[in-house]
Amino acid sequence: MSDELYDDEEFDVLTEIKQKRQLKLKQREFIKELSKKRLSKHEMDELLGGVEAL
């Protein structure tokens, strides 16, 4: 039974991977929203710089 369970380290790694995927997904959605608003290139760069700093 214990073979099926992840040890803490594996679980942490999987959790981290999931969080990174969710963040990338949110960034993509955010970029799509920004492109709909037709911001200037400078404004886009500023906003994206703020997102990546998170």
Within a domain: residue 7?
Answer: no
* SS3 category, 7: coil
Within a domain: residue 11?
Answer: no
What pLDDT, on the 0 to 100 scale, is given for residue 20?
94
Instruction: Report the alpha-carbon distance of residue 38 to residue 13 in Å, rounded.
Output: 38
- Dig out the tokens for 49 from the structure: 């710089």
- 40-51: pLDDT as tens digits: 777 777 777 765
Contact between residue 23 and residue 40 where contact means Cβ atoms under 8 Å apart? no
Q: What residues make up the domain containing 48?
A: 19-54
Count the domains in the chain: 1
What pLDDT, on the 0 to 100 scale, is given for residue 41?
76
- 1-32: pLDDT as tens digits: 444 566 788 888 999 999 999 999 998 988 88
Within a domain: residue 5?
Answer: no
What pLDDT, on the 0 to 100 scale, is given for residue 1?
40
What's the pTM? 0.48
Within a domain: residue 6?
Answer: no
